[in-house]
Amino acid sequence: MRFCPNCGAAVVKRVPPGDSLPRYVCDSCGDIHYQNPKLVVGTVPEWDGRLLLCRRAIEPRYGYWTLPAGFMENDETTAQAALRETLEETGAQVEVAAPFSMISVPHVNQVHLFYRARLLDLEFRSGAESLEVALFEEARVPWREIAFRTVGLTLRHWFADRRNGAFGFHTGDVAAR
């Protein structure tokens, strides 16, 4: 059972007039409570050909390595979200450049967006959500301990583009396994 955030009455799931999908509808106050995908935004922070990864101190995927990223918040832009998440998770100051990858993850209702970024110095440290933070050259990336497929895809695209001398914008999606 679900309740209306607006008035506290019980809500039912049904297709509202003029709509095509079932929604949580409140018959008491008339509110319709839409549920939509969330943006997870982060960076691919580079220092001299090496990338900054964090080992997760939280679930899901505790102990696995990831790029700094997290849920975009209200009142910010995607680039601001990328900068904020990088600072929160790695302590690193970065210059955010162009968007680099955007990958839909429909089975968890998320879209993952990564920007290229340049570390401004080597002042990084693990934060509340990271066990360790470290720079990796391609041959040293812990490929078998990457937390999420969107991160693995983004890292592979980044190293391939760097070898080719031109960074693109990569899009796609990952399906439930």
Give min distance, CB of 36 to a second copy, in A: 5
Question: Is residue 23 exposed (0-12), middle (13-18) or buried (19+ Cβ within 10 Å)?
Answer: middle
How far is the C-alpha of 116 from the C-alpha of 112, rounded, in Å?
13
The token pair at 8 is 């506290």
How far is the C-alpha of 100 from the C-alpha of 156, rounded, in Å?
12
102 binds a second copy (CB under 8 A): yes
**Which positions from 133 through 172 interact with a second copy, judged by CB under 8 A?**
169, 171
Site stretch for a second copy (CB under 8 A), options 15-23, 46-54, 140-148, 153-161: 15-23
Site stretch for a second copy (CB under 8 A), options 59-67, 71-79, 117-125, 154-162: 71-79
34 binds a second copy (CB under 8 A): yes
Query: Number of H helices and number of E strands within the chain?
Result: 2, 12
Give min distance, CB of 62 to a second copy, in A: 15
DSSP 11: E
Choice from 47, 50, 91, 99 touching a second copy (CB under 8 A): 99
Q: Tell me the number of residues near a second copy by CB under 8 A.
A: 43
109 binds a second copy (CB under 8 A): yes
What lies within 8 Å, CB to CB, of 72 at 6+ separation is 38, 39, 40, 41, 78, 81
Q: What does each C-alpha distance from 146 to 14, 19, 49, 143 come to in angstroms?
A: 40, 40, 19, 6
Site stretch for a second copy (CB under 8 A), options 42-50, 61-69, 102-110, 145-153: 102-110
107 binds a second copy (CB under 8 A): yes
Residues near a second copy (CB under 8 A): 2-8, 10-11, 18, 20-21, 24, 33-39, 71-80, 88, 98-99, 102, 104, 106-107, 109, 111, 128, 169, 171, 173
